[in-house]
Chains A and B, each alone.
Chain A
Amino acid sequence: MSFVVPKESFNGKVLAVDFGKDDKALAIGGETCLPFLSFEGEVPNKPVIAYEIQDCAPDDWPDTVKNVYKEVSGDPVTWAKYCQNELKAKAIALRLASTHPDRGDRSAEDAAKTVKDVLSAVQVPLIILGSNHIEKDASVLVAAAQAASANNCIIGKAQEGNYKTIVAAALAHNHKLIAMSELDINLAKQLNILITQMGFDKAKLITDPMCAALGYGLEYTYSVMERIRLAGLAQNDPTMQPPIVGDVGMYVWKIKETVASETDVPDWGTLEDRGIAWETVTATSMVLAGTNLLIMRHPKAVENVEKTISELV
Chain B
Amino acid sequence: MIIIGEKISVIAKKVREAMNARDPKPIQELALAQWKAGAHFIDVNIGPAEENGEDLMKWMVESIQQVVQAPLCLDTTNTSALEAGLKVHNNAWGKALINSTSNEPDRFAMLELAAKYNSLCIALTLGKGSLPADAEERCGIAAEIMARAAEYGVPMEDLYLDPLILQVCTMQDQTMHAIKAVKMFQELNDPPMKTIVGLSNVSNGVPKDMRSLIDRVYLSLLMYEGLTAAIANPLDKDLMNVVKTTDLFLGNTLYAHSYLEM
Contacts and interface: CB of A to CB of B under 8 A. Distances in A.
Nearest to B254: A231
A193 B255 CA distance: 11
B258 A190 contact: yes
B189 interface: no
A193 B253 contact: no
B208 interface: no
A240 B254 contact: yes
B12 interface: no
B190 interface: no
Contact of A194 (B252, B253, B255, B258): B258
Contact of B253 (A190, A197, A237): A237
A235 B262 contact: no
Contacts of A193: 256, 258, 261-262
Contacts of B257: 186, 190
Nearest to B257: A190
A197 B261 contact: yes
B256 A239 contact: yes
Given A193-B261, A193-B262, A197-B261, A235 B256 contact: no
Contacts of A187: 256
B254 A186 contact: yes
A231 B248 CA distance: 12
A185 B255 CA distance: 9
A182 to B, nearest CB: 15
B261 A235 contact: no
Given A193-B261, A193-B262, A197-B261, A235 B252 contact: yes
A229 to B, nearest CB: 12
Nearest to A192: B256
B258 A235 contact: no
B261 A189 contact: no
Interface in A186-213: 186-187, 189-190, 193-194, 197
A51 to B, nearest CB: 33
Interface string B239-262: 000000000000011111110011
Interface residues of B, number: 9
B252 A189 contact: no
Contacts of A185: 254
B262 A186 contact: no
A185 B256 CA distance: 8
Nearest to B251: A235
Nearest to A237: B254
Nearest to A194: B258
A194 B258 CA distance: 8
Interface in B208-262: 252-258, 261-262
Nearest to A188: B256
A187 B257 CA distance: 8
Contacts of A237: 253-254
A56 B77 CA distance: 76
Nearest to B252: A235
Given A193-B261, A239-B262, A186 B252 contact: no
A190 B258 CA distance: 6
A246 to B, nearest CB: 20
A228 to B, nearest CB: 9
A72 B12 CA distance: 76
Contacts of B256: 186-187, 189-190, 193, 239
A186 B255 contact: yes
Contacts of A189: 254-256
A179 to B, nearest CB: 12
Contacts of B261: 193, 197
Given A189-B254, A235-B252, A235-B254, 9 more contacts: A186-B255, A186-B256, A187-B256, A190-B256, A193-B262, A194-B258, A235-B253, A239-B262, A240-B254
Interface of B: 252-258, 261-262
* 3 nearest A-B residue pairs (beta carbon): A189-B256, A190-B256, A193-B258
21 contacts: A185-B254, A186-B254, A186-B256, A186-B257, A189-B254, A189-B256, A190-B256, A190-B257, A190-B258, A193-B258, A193-B261, A197-B258, A197-B261, A231-B254, A235-B252, A235-B253, A235-B254, A237-B253, A237-B254, A239-B256, A240-B254
